[in-house]
Amino acid sequence: MTRDDLFKTNAGIAKGIVEACAKYCPAAVLGMIVNPVNSVVPAMAELYKKKGLDPMKIVGITTLDVVRANKFVGEITGKNPNFINIPVIGGHAGSTIMPVFSQDKIAKTIAEDKIAELDKHVQNAGTDVVDAKGGKGSATLSMAYAGARFGKSVLAGLAGRRRVEGAHCKRDVTGLPY
């Protein structure tokens, strides 16, 4: 399946969900686990905007890459990944995934000559899972965990508790729209 095929298939599924939410729960925050996140989320945000709704309520869940980066750093350092927080910026496809190891106190202890290999490990983790399953699946449990973690953070935030979670969403703080 090409990236274009993936986009067409997943954008069609996402469109149905976004249209239903626009009709039945327009105030909801939509956390979308979708690939390619950096293409589908902007399209769905524009759809929401055309319906007169807040496009910033369409959020692409990129927590999976954070969870993977945290786990790999934990393996290297022998530390608990629950106390590691590697910000991951960019998209959710190969080299567009950019873990920022320098922003975590535990990851900062990793030798600089190991970082390029660690970058590749995070960037290729999804492909590694697909390959391990013989092309017959993806990281469904990992995605579920990432979605649950993200959802828990959103609910905590809506309840007034401070949470920080990476996501792919529309923004208005720089000249870049996403």
Residue 121: active-site member: no
Among the listed residues 29, 48, 73, 92, the single catalytic one is 92
Which residues contact residue 155 at a Cβ distance below 8 angstroms, ignoring those fewer than 6 apart? none
Tokens matching residue 65: 């890459």
* HEC per residue, the chain: CCHHHHHHHHHHHHHHHHHHHHHHCCCCCEEECCCCHHHHHHHHHHHHHHCCCCHHHEEEECHHHHHHHHHHHHHHHCCCHHHCCCCEEECCCHHHEEECHHHCCCHHHCCHHHHHHHHHHHHHHHHHHHHHCCCCCCCHHHHHHHHHHHHHHHHHHHCCCCCCCCEEECCCCCCCCC
Return the active site residues: 92
